[in-house]
Structure 1
Amino acid sequence: MLILKLPKEQKEELTTKVQQFFEEERSETIGSIAAEQLLDFMLKEIGPHVYNHAIHDARKVVLERMQSLEDELYSLEKPVSAKR
């Protein structure tokens, strides 16, 4: 699977958030390179799991909608009288 490639602006924003997390939650200061490397690692290692979960959720929604559509199509059928 391809590694998620983020737009530059989004990657910079997330790198800043990683730095803020370390500062606020761990009282540690990390540089932008370390934060970006951590972000890249997380995307590589956790990204596929999140992606697969999203696909599972999407599949569930599509199947539910298809079932609903099938029910609606059956309700549109006209009764047919048997000829003798």
Structure 2
Amino acid sequence: MSDIKFSTDETDRIIGSIKSYFSDELDQELGSFEANFLLEFFAGEVGPHFYNRGLADAHTLLTEKFEEIGYLIQELEKTSV
């Protein structure tokens, strides 16, 4: 898996959320540099776990849908007379 990259707009919004969380929940002021550092850390250390969970969930969903399609195809089968 390649490194997780965010657009400038996404990065700005995430950094804003991190700063707000630290201010509201932890009563600590965090600068943009520190928030960006935390973003990079979590993206690198925790992000792959969320990414892999998303892939596993997508795989499970696709497997279920393919199974449903299999049943629908079976229902279309004709019986001989």
Q: Which of the five TM-score ranges fits, normalised by the shorter chain?
A: over 0.9
CA-to-partner distance for each residue in 1:46-72, whole Å, 9 max, x for gaps? 111001000010001000000000000
Structure 1 gap ranges (5+): none
Equivalent residue for 1:68?
68
Residue type matched to 1:14 in 2? I
Counterpart in 1 of 2:50?
Answer: 50
Between the aligned partners of 2:79 and 2:53, the Cα distance in structure 1 is 43
Q: How much does 1:2 deviate? A: 1.2
Deviation at 1:37, TM superposition (A): 0.5
Q: How many residues align?
A: 81
* Whole-angstrom CA distance in 2 between matches of 1:25 and 1:2: 32
Aligned-residue sequence identity (percent) comes to 27
Following superposition, which runs of at least 4 residues in structure 1 exceed 6 angstroms of deviation? none
Partner amino acid for 2:57?
Answer: D
Q: TM-score, normalised on structure 1?
A: 0.93
Equivalent AA in structure 2 for residue 65 of structure 1? K
Q: Gapped runs of 5+ residues in structure 2?
A: none
1:34 aligns with 2:22: no
Q: CA deviation at 1:39?
A: 0.5
